[in-house]
Amino acid sequence: LVYYRIRSRMDAEDLTQEIFMEMTRSLGNLRDSGKFKAWLYRISLNKVRDFKRKRKIVSFFAASPETQDDTSAVDLHNPLDQMVEKEFWQQFHGLIQKMSKKEREVFLLRYIDQLRIREISETLRSSESAVKTHLYRALQKFKGAPQFRHLFRGNAI
């Protein structure tokens, strides 16, 4: 969840630590244990939002670009895998940048984090119909990026 959104492994690890600390601190405030997943995602999204805000402020004053590391998830000795991975993330972020903030959020929660519509609406505290509307629009933008779809369709075995 965190890594797709901030694109830095080190920061993602620190942020995940913070999220779990926040979770243990606020666990007493959780009234309905059935909504734990949505509650945890809400904490995570808030933390990511705060982090992005801070990073934006820091980068504004430091006049340096946003930090992104090139840490690879695949075998470092296989240049082809590295290339595919790099290409994937470039296309991925290119795609989600075309979406509005809301569209991007619901799209990531639905298709990357695999939350249900109801869970997304609980996480974002918005109605299910609003979530669906954002999803339709996000899907239309996704369908409008055939070069991206070819990238992973070519890798499908």
Partner 1 sequence: MRQRGDHLTEEQICVCVVDQTDLAEDARDHLLTCPVCRDAKATLEFDLERLGEMARGFVPAPTKKIEIPLKKSRGFGFRLPAFAAAAAAVLFVVMFWGPGFFSDGSKQEGTNSLSQSDSDLYLVEDILDESPLPDYYLDIAVASYGYIDDEFLELIAPIDEPGDTV
CB atoms within 10 A of CB 73: 11
The conformational region for residue 114 under phi > 0 = left, psi -120 to 50 = alpha, else beta, is: left
Least separation in angstroms between CB 58 and partner 1? 22
Q: Dmax over Cα atoms in the chain, in whole Å?
A: 49
Q: Contact positions toward partner 1, by CB under 8 A?
A: 3-4, 9, 13, 16-17, 20-21, 23-24, 71-74, 85, 88-89, 92, 111-112, 114, 117, 132, 135-136, 139-140, 142-143, 149, 152-153, 155-156
Between 37 and 149, name the residue whose CB sits nearer to partner 1. Answer: 149
The conformational region for residue 7 under phi > 0 = left, psi -120 to 50 = alpha, else beta, is: left
Between 10 and 57, name the residue whose CB sits nearer to partner 1. Answer: 10
Between 58 and 112, name the residue whose CB sits nearer to partner 1. Answer: 112
